[in-house]
Every structure is written in C-alpha cells, then in structure tokens.
Amino acid sequence: MGKKSAERNVRLEQLRREQKRKERRRALLIYGTSGFVVVVLLIGIIIYSVADTHSKNKTREVGYTAAASSAATAAGCTGTVNDASQGSSHVSTTVSYKASPPTSGSHNPDPLPDGISFYNPASGIPVERAVHNLEHGFIVGWYDKSLPAAQVEKLRSLAANAGPRFIGVPWTRSAFPDGKHFVLTAWDRTQRCTTVSADVVKDFVAKHANPDPTGATWDSPTAPESGAQGGTLDVSADGPLTAQGGATTATPTPGAGTMSLAPTSPTPAP
C-alpha cells in the first residue's frame, strides 16, 4: 500500500469516527429533548389532576356557592348554596327546622306521593313529608304567602312539566327572608329566588334531581336515598284526603316505592 493510500485510509477512519460522534450527539439530543418533553407533560398532567381534584373537593364543601346563571340572575336568584347536613331521622312530630325552608333534617317516615306535582296554597301539606322527598332525590320548589298570585299560577304550570321528581309545595310557617319568595331545594342544596323562572327550575332539576349516590359521602351530602319513590297517596293537590268522620283513609297500590297508597271511596251513608 502506498503512502498516499495509507493516509487516505487514516483520514477516512477519522471522518467515520467523527460522523459516529455527531450521530451519537444527535441521538442524545433527540432522546434528551423527548425525555424532557415527556417529563414536562407528566408534570402538567399531575398538576392538572391535583388542581381538578382540589376544585371538585371545593364544590363539595359546606358553604360553597355555585354561581348563578344569567337566567337565575334575571329572576332575582342567588347561586346554589351547599348546606350543612341536619340529619335524617324519622319522626312523627312537627319539626322546628333551623332553615326556612329546610334542605335536610328529621322528617316524617312517609314522603309525599309520586304523581302530584303541585300543592295549592291552602293544602296544609306537612313540611316534614316533603323533606323526606328531598332525601329520595326529589326537588321541592317552596313558595311562601308573599309570592304573587300570578307567580303561583306560573309555578303550577311549570310544575306540571318539570318532570316526576319536582314538587311545588307552599311554605306557610313564615315569609322567606330578603324578598326571596320562591326557593328551590334539593337535599342540602338551596337556591333562593324573587320570581319563578322556567329556565331556573329546569336547570336546578337537571343538576340536582336523583344525584349520583356517591354524593352522599361528600362534606355537604347529596340525597342519601337518591332514586327512591314517593310515599302514601293519601293527599291531593288540595291537602289530605279524608273519609266520612274525618279519618284519612288509603289502600295499598301494588308496585309502589316506600309505600304508595291510593284513596278509598267513602262508604255511602245508610
């Protein structure tokens, strides 16, 4: 091999080695950059996950208020507030509730029945029965004595189309505070309004009727018996059904929930 040929071979070997070094550097740069991007993405996912969990936990706390929608603002409504649980004992007596109206607490063992969407102002429907409906995942729209008659009629009409889990019930114990004469409630959830709005009722029912059972474990719980049916059909929109002599009578209806009953016909006088 001549001298020139040997020098050329040495030079080629140097070039090959240099090329391999460049390729290794390029590979390290690519892998290093890719690894950095992956790490950044993982950190971002972790941060998002932690922030999302914190945000969800916040919305489940007592005292949290979900912002009012534009429709709710137009109807003079507050945001929806998470209330503190007041218990869920069954009692057969009148209950003095801390809140007006209540969203949880001791209540009558027999909820109001399915199928009646609105109770008239003079119906005298027991508050304690309606509170039991809240525990079952119903929505109760309470209206006080100061709600104008036209608004009461509007609520009556809306209730008929608000779905089977909505009930309009008169609140006769006192006027609601701050001029909010119509109050939407779910178990441990309250939204107070000045006027009745179809959009507000629809939105509240969509968000809070029959909630996921996991919500019963939150700091401010949702309905612990979500999805359960109503109770004894011993009332009408005008109040309790009574037989001759003033006694309330009812007969069982097959396939009901807690105990769904239907009224008997009065016995004709002899």
Q: Is 237 exposed, middle or buried, given 0-12, 13-18 or 19+ CB atoms closer than 10 A? A: middle
100, 185 Cβ separation under 8 angstroms: no
* d(C-alpha 150, C-alpha 162), whole Å: 18
- The structure's pTM equals 0.74
Give the DSSP letter of residue 267.
P
Tokens of 112: 């109001």
* d(C-alpha 188, C-alpha 99), whole Å: 11
Instruction: Give the chain's length.
Output: 270
Tokens of 266: 């009065």
Tokens of 196: 């009745």
Residue 39: what pLDDT? Answer: 67
Please list the pLDDT of the chain residue by residue as tens digits (270 residues): 566 677 766 676 777 777 777 777 776 766 666 666 666 676 666 555 555 555 568 999 999 999 999 999 999 999 999 999 999 999 999 999 999 999 999 999 999 999 999 999 999 999 999 999 999 999 999 999 999 999 999 999 999 999 999 999 999 998 999 999 999 999 999 999 999 999 999 999 999 999 999 999 999 999 999 999 999 999 999 999 975 455 554 433 333 333 333 333 333 333
Specify which residues 143 forms β-bridges with. Answer: 170, 182
* d(C-alpha 54, C-alpha 48), whole Å: 10
* d(C-alpha 170, C-alpha 230), whole Å: 18
Rg value, the chain, Cα: 33
The one-letter code for the residue type at 96 is S
DSSP string, 23-54: HHHHHHHHHHHHHHHHHHHHHHHHHHHHHHHH
